[in-house]
Amino acid sequence: MHEETPIRFSDEFFSFIWETVKIVVLSLAIIVPIRYYLVQPFFVKGSSMVPNFHDKDYILVDKLSYRFDDFKRGDVIVFRYPKDPKDYFIKRVIGLPGETIQVKGNKVTIYNTDNPAGEILEEAYLADYQRTDGNKVWKLDDNEFFVLGDNRLQSSDSRSWDALNRSFIAGRAWIRLWPFDVITKIPRVTYPDAGN
């Protein structure tokens, strides 16, 4: 009669470890490129984008499409804070590269080739009680954006720390996943008279 050789505990253990390692490596090979080059999850922190985004909203950031189609006015973007790059902020693009932006008298005015005399932005997405405080003009270079929070009264944005260099941008806010009752694709706001 043929006797089977018993499998020792150590053989089972090492087989389990090897299978686990293979699964982890395969998972990382799939997840890491997606996470760093295509889509990245973020939690919104703070109230600078209220009422359109709230603290603890969970969003996905598109890190790829802007490489083929540049950011537009009205996009919501996530970026590393220029004064402390380990922190991430979420704001709305207001001024585009090469434009001049004026904040004065609770108004944002855009000066560009379409509007050399300036065009005041109509921002219907802002709450009625909001004010865009400031009295300054910014001339953006070819790699700079002017960004503002939707909650202007509680937002640290380009008014206080200047224009945002493209190199700090992580990507465009794409989908809101939490809370579940507001799962949606994040739209771009359009400003028909200001040029996009």
Q: Which residues carry out catalysis?
A: 48, 91
Question: What element of type H or E holds 33?
Answer: helix 9-33
Tell me how many degrees the CA angle 52-58-64 measures, rounded to the nearest 5. 95
Q: CA-to-CA distance for 78 and 71, rounded, in angstroms?
A: 12
Yes or no: say if 141 and 98 are a contact pair by the CB < 8 Å rule: yes
Q: What is the DSSP letter of 18?
A: H
C-alpha dist (Å) from residue 97 to 3, 37, 93, 126, 150: 78, 24, 11, 23, 20
Beta bridge partners of 6: none
- Report residue 116 CA to chain centroid gap: 29
Are 63 and 37 within 8 A, CB to CB? yes
C-alpha pair distances (Å), 67 with each of 33, 166, 171: 16, 11, 9
